[in-house]
Structure 1
Amino acid sequence: MTISHEPHHKPQHGDVQQRRHGQPHEAHAYWVTKDGHGELRSEAIETPQDGQALVRTLYSGVSRGTERVVHEGRVPERVADLMHAPHQEGDFPGPVKYGYLNVGVVEQGPDEWVGKTVFSLHPHQDFYVVPTKQLTPIPHDVPARRAVLTGIVEVAINALWEAGPRLGDRVAVVGGGLVGGVLATLLRKYPLGRLQLVDADPDKQKLAETLGIDFAEPSEAKGDCDIVFHCSASNEGLKLSLQLAGDDSDVIELSWFADKEVTLPLGEDFHARRLTIRSSQVGAVALPRRHRRTNAQRLQEAAAQLKDPLFDTFITSECQFRNLPATIVSLFERPGGFCHVVAYPKPEE
């Protein structure tokens, strides 16, 4: 990856004064180039208008699975428009400004918003202007660093609304990555009959122990489940999910396979036991709640759930924003780990 030659911006107190006087402000954003490299690019942002806010980013998060697909240029052309992130610039396969886990503080805007810590589905960028209706206030007892997980918790909440776990249900989560782990963290609050985290990596037992739930490798996983959540983005994981599902039950698919083709033995469990594979894609609120919840309300619920310090388990590495282009390559090459956090300079720096 490459870093653009512009010097990395370090906000000074004078910058805040400039913004208050309506001067354009220079921001820096991370872009994926067409050849799969990355760089920091500068751009001018204007003073916020009515109903808008200027946000100074504190932290952003790298969603390894989705952002790796974008970096590798593997977004299928057929769904490129559907997979467009809310504040994305450029088109797939690139150059594209992409990302959706951003936490910052409002520096300018309506009085009731100034000084608030907020979450936004915004790419990796040090300053940006967005409508306040696209910001989610972070509760005062949720640390800003942990709040980058708001978008991941939202994915898990959508899957829970999709499936509707009931008292005494037998539930399996197949795939103990970031999404599967966060989902299991929420599921442990339910009065289930059984909850099992299933992963081919025996090291994921440590995560299950931290969460206080049962762990199993694929050969030891318990079947006859009422609900199976599949989060491994693998052919083998989805096949196993069908084997673990009970008669007439549902497999909730959270994985995004992008351009990977999947081969399944649909003549076995799926057909004989009348199973259902249901997609849980976060772009729309799950159908059972779609008429009574908005996307904004779903994000508010996600932010509230992050009061639980157990979610700190899923922040496993960090870099400075200026180092993101160099860091992200090695991040995708290294197996393991959950959410990578990007820290941004403070004004006094």
Structure 2
Amino acid sequence: MINVESFWINKKNRSYIKKEQISGPIKSEVLIKTIFSGISYGTEQIVYAGKVPKSEKKLMRCPYQVGDFGSDVKYGYLNIGKIIDGETKDIGKNVFTLYPHQNLFTINESEVSLIPRKIPLKRTLLTANMETAINALWDTLPTSGDKCVVIGAGIVGILMAYLLNSIIGVDVVIIDKDKKKKNIANLFDLNFDTSLSKTMRANFIYECSGDSKIINKLGKFTENEATICILSWYGTNQSRINFGEHYLSKRLNIIFSQVSKISKNRIKNWTNKTRRDFAINLLNNKKLDYLIDKNEIKFHKLPNFFKNSKNKNFFCKVVNYNK
């Protein structure tokens, strides 16, 4: 048996480090030693605060979650580690998996994504966020000539605008009420504003702010037949939308781009695994390092982080497993 330590959320607004034992890898499995894990702050804060809707407690489970929302739960899905044992030719290689915050774990080798040497390890913590942006792109299929607005200059919002900006002829602007976000937008050569222009008429709006109340306001900033794509997860927060106004007269489309499922536009040719590997390769840009928080969190300090965190910045939070 192997002694391991993992991070658990205990009901609401409480967490702890748990010591347990696991078996070594069996056939087709590998043993991974975690180097870094990442905190997907918006989602994990919803779990920590006990705000997962009752109706979604089964649907919103992450791949290697242990326990149930509302009770003790091991949750997380950004893990970078090294293969240290198993019947594999890849011993010693660095990998990305969707495993929670745990220092050692076994996993089926087919669920492991090898990290190319050209991609720095910590940058790979952006993989799941990049997948979210890719899926939204597949869900909406913007093309040259389209006007696109991204609401919220957090990690997902920046990555969404970054991908849109790579399409020739697409007009992109990212909106965030925090003026300081303009600096990060400038680093990615993105048009930025703190509010939507009264004359804005977008073909696509991507809601990445996490603010459920904003949806009702977006309709008047669209062209006819426009699409509003929602990448945020609002948890138990509610939104009131006046469907009898712009949403009706403009024949607007609303789509929730939930990343656990491949878009219907790509489902025939892609799997979650191939999309994940694709996302990792799209991280080959030094600019993306601007999205990584330089202040790392020690693994054993995770309970303190969640207890005291007020999310003063939007950067990807890095958990370091070096003692």
With the shorter chain as reference, the TM-score category is over 0.9
Residue deviations 1:261-288, cap 9 Å, x none? 1012222211110000001001110110
Verify: 1:54 aligned to 2:42, yes or no.
no
Change in Cα spacing, 1:221 to 1:173, as seen in structure 2 (3 Å) is: farther
Verify: 1:198 aligned to 2:199, yes or no.
no
Name the counterpart of 2:320.
343
Asked if the contact 1:224–1:246 (Cα under 8 Å) also holds between the matched residues in 2, the reply is yes
Give the C-alpha shift of residue 219 in structure 1. 4.2
Name the counterpart of 2:305.
327
Verify: 1:114 aligned to 2:91, yes or no.
yes
Residue deviations 1:240-278, cap 9 Å, x none? 432322110111111111101101222221111000000
User: Matches of residues 59-208 of structure 1 in structure 2 within 5 Å?
Assistant: 59-208=36-185
Give the C-alpha shift of residue 218 in structure 1. 1.7
Residue deviations 1:126-165, cap 9 Å, x none? 0000001111111111111111111111111111111112
State which drifts further: 111-120 or 285-294: 111-120
The residue type equivalent to 1:250 in the other structure is: T
Give the C-alpha shift of residue 110 in structure 1. 2.9
Verify: 1:318 aligned to 2:299, yes or no.
no
Change in Cα spacing, 1:108 to 1:209, as seen in structure 2 (3 Å) is: same
Whole-angstrom CA distance in 2 between matches of 1:121 and 1:100 = 4
Give the C-alpha shift of residue 45 in structure 1. 1.6
The residue type equivalent to 1:282 in the other structure is: V
Residue deviations 1:61-101, cap 9 Å, x none? 11111000000111011111000110000001121000011
Task: Report the RMSD for the aligned CA atoms in angstroms.
Answer: 1.4
- 1:44 pairs with one of 4, 15, 21: 21
The residue type equivalent to 1:322 in the other structure is: H
Asked if the contact 2:143–2:170 (Cα under 8 Å) also holds between the matched residues in 1, the reply is no
Asked if the contact 1:99–1:124 (Cα under 8 Å) also holds between the matched residues in 2, the reply is yes
Whole-angstrom CA distance in 1 between matches of 2:312 and 2:264 = 34
Whole-angstrom CA distance in 2 between matches of 1:314 and 1:240 = 28
Residue deviations 1:6-55, cap 9 Å, x none? xxxxxxxxxxxxxxxxxx21110000001321110011121101110100
Whole-angstrom CA distance in 2 between matches of 1:33 and 1:204 = 34
In the superposition, the TM-score normalised over structure 1's length comes to 0.89
In the superposition, the TM-score normalised over structure 2's length comes to 0.96
- 1:284 pairs with one of 253, 256, 261: 261
- Identity in percent: 31
Change in Cα spacing, 1:163 to 1:179, as seen in structure 2 (3 Å) is: same
Change in Cα spacing, 1:320 to 1:272, as seen in structure 2 (3 Å) is: same
Name the counterpart of 2:221.
244
Asked if the contact 1:171–1:192 (Cα under 8 Å) also holds between the matched residues in 2, the reply is no
The residue type equivalent to 2:157 in the other structure is: G
Name the counterpart of 1:228.
205
- 2:286 pairs with one of 277, 297, 309: 309
Asked if the contact 1:218–1:240 (Cα under 8 Å) also holds between the matched residues in 2, the reply is no
State which drifts further: 162-171 or 216-225: 216-225
Number of residue pairs the alignment of both structures matches: 322
The residue type equivalent to 1:30 in the other structure is: F
Gaps of 5+ in 2: none
Asked if the contact 1:54–1:106 (Cα under 8 Å) also holds between the matched residues in 2, the reply is yes
State which drifts further: 201-210 or 51-60: 201-210
Give the C-alpha shift of residue 111 in structure 1. 2.8
Give the C-alpha shift of residue 204 in structure 1. 1.5
Residue deviations 1:204-250, cap 9 Å, x none? 11121111011112243752212111111213432343232211011
Whole-angstrom CA distance in 1 between matches of 2:237 and 2:41 = 16
SS at match of 1:27: strand
Gaps of 5+ in 1: 1-23
Whole-angstrom CA distance in 1 between matches of 2:198 and 2:113 = 38
